[in-house]
Structure 1
Amino acid sequence: MRILILGLDGAGKTTILYRLQVGEVVTTIPTIGFNVETVTYKNLKFQVWDLGGQTSIRPYWRCYYSNTDAVIYVVDSCDRDRIGISKSELVAMLEEEELRKAILVVFANKQDMEQAMTPSEMANALGLPALKDRKWQI
């Protein structure tokens, strides 16, 4: 199973990838390009691709869409200033034919922070309730 981890820079994508793989939080640096790891969970193997989220890298996300079974879209719950940009990137991604059948999980990261938006606020800000023909989870 192939999973992409996408989201804006600083959202926590790489931290999530390595938390899944090694079971603990590791120190990371900004991803220029991608990280790919095999994650095993209950005898299932997942190939997980963590793609950089900087503005200059986002146009290349589509190069990785082919044969993707699921997308984990990571959003920084505290980044109210860029929630609109995050929504635009999410909407553009969901319009891609190659991702039409992919499962969407929106990961509301940094919920432990005092200024974090609630998952419900985030779902509304990202326009998730308006999605048609797409199952999603936040």
Structure 2
Amino acid sequence: MSKITSVDIVNHFWREVWQSRNPDAIDELVAEDFVITSGGIDIHSRSEFKQWVATFLSKINDFEFHIVETFQNESGDRVASRWRVTGKNNGFLGTAACQSPIDMSGTAIWHVGEDGLLQHNWVERNSHEVFRKLAVE
């Protein structure tokens, strides 16, 4: 039987939470004291993260999440992922819900705990470019 890698853990998270659009899956996949750092802001706790994901999903209709690539460091406690989100604007980034196409890419760096739970996620995305496009539509 093969060992589950940290890449497997992160890809499972992508499938269960983002591709399935299911914030409740977070309960089984991240630590209670999970932190996501997005846009320089820390969101603390599993429950706050679930709310953040639900809000994010509500702002993009026809939401699709694409895994571009995922790899881990030698020790397996850090995983890097490139991803892409597409859909239609439903008020994303505070813009009017105009249903314009959204195509956003980003990277995520994960800390995976020894217990297999996700501990921290640092996210960078091209939201400024997406905002500029949506703000003029």
TM-score, normalising length: structure 1: 0.27
Larger radius of gyration: 2
The structure in which a higher percent of residues are strand is: 2
